[in-house]
Amino acid sequence: MAERGNNGTGSAVAAGILVLALFYVAEPIFAPLVFSLMIIALVWPFQAALQRWLPRLLALLVTLLVTMSVIVAVGSSVAWGFGKLGHWLFLNAQRFQAIYADWTDWLEQHGIAIAGPVADRFDVGWLVGFLQGMAGRLNSFAGFALLVFIFVMLGLLEVEDFNRRLRAPAAQPYGERLLIANRVIGAKLRRFMLVRTVASILTGLLVWLFALVAGLELAAAWGAIAFALNYIPFLGPFVATALPTVFAIAQFDTWQTAAVVFVSLNVIQFIIGSYLEPLLTGASLQISPFAVIFAVFFWSFLWGIAGAFIGVPILIAFIVYCAGIPSVQWLAILLSGGSKSVPEGLGGPS
């Protein structure tokens, strides 16, 4: 019996590894598909409300226009912000090169040597290559957005029919349990995205105001980048804090001012991330911080920027489904932020 159980566990692990390998290889299909499923869960209540007053296809058109407008707005803020930074960086590349050389000499005088490959790559040629790579990734975003648009359109047309199939007698008892779980996931995702949106807008405004007061160039770009990257927990705020600090070194040519910028931006991120977001989120979305960090890095490894954005929503769905399966409820408890009870899952709505 023990040997049979070990074989079953080994088969499950092997199947999981194969599925993840498939996700990695077929990223151009699965990444926009999962992204579109998250969007469908977010916007379906809006679509259903519109259908009470408008014809179904007209309601679908309005929902798609609003949804894609939001996606384009967030994506454009990132593209515009990094475009402004790239242009400024290109114009001031020699200043960065000189500062880097001065710091390298100072470190070497104190017995700290900089690795040769790093020194060789920090030049204008590397900078141009980096900007070209960024442009290529931005161009690929158009194809990703098109696939997401198609999946969302087809998915919204099929939500009601899919729910009816889950309620069919032949699909019971699993159909009703999946229907309840999907409602729980949808409610949690909508709350999560609402909180992230409020926090992102506030973060972007505060970073923009601080950059204006501190005299940082490209203040609007820093605010736009902070707004968009705040949707990626931990990793996004880190990048949105580190980049202005590096640019402050080149602009003010003093590490003291850069330290003030770094500390001030971290204070903004800490107050919003550690106090405001937990206050708005409440206990229903408590997730282990370690699990959140792992999800962001793991899915960004598999699917790049798209994976970083949807890593936490995937984790939320995973916890909900695990909470409804007795054999893996322990996993849902470990991944959740609380330990007093089993997280909500297939057993009932939130």
Predicted confidence (pLDDT) per residue in 151-206, tens digit: 999 999 888 888 899 888 888 888 888 888 889 999 999 999 988 899 999 999 99
pLDDT over threshold 90, residue 342 = no
Q: Give me the percent of the chain exceeding a pLDDT of 70.
A: 77
Give the chain's end-to-end CA distance (angstroms, integer). 38
258-306 confidence digits (pLDDT tens): 888 999 999 998 888 877 777 776 666 778 888 888 898 999 888 888 8
What is this structure's pTM?
0.80
| Per-residue confidence (pLDDT) for residue 146, from 0 to 100 | 83
- Asked if residues 232 and 222 have their Cβ atoms less than 8 Å apart, the reply is no
170-183 confidence digits (pLDDT tens): 888 888 888 888 89
| Per-residue confidence (pLDDT) for residue 133, from 0 to 100 | 57
Question: Distance (Å, rounded) from C-alpha 98 to C-alpha 115?
Answer: 17
- Asked if residues 332 and 307 have their Cβ atoms less than 8 Å apart, the reply is no
Phi, psi of 232 (to 5 degrees): -100, 110
Question: Distance (Å, rounded) from C-alpha 48 to C-alpha 166?
Answer: 18
Residue 101 token pair = 């050389």
- Asked if residues 230 and 296 have their Cβ atoms less than 8 Å apart, the reply is no
| Per-residue confidence (pLDDT) for residue 282, from 0 to 100 | 62
Under the banding of pLDDT at 50, 70 and 90, the label for residue 240 is confident
As a whole number, mean pLDDT of residues 44-72 equals 89
- Asked if residues 171 and 165 have their Cβ atoms less than 8 Å apart, the reply is yes
Q: Which tops the pLDDT comparison, 217 or 117?
A: 217
Opening angle at CA 86, ends 196 and 271, nearest 5:
30
Residue 15 token pair = 């199947």
Under the banding of pLDDT at 50, 70 and 90, the label for residue 117 is very low
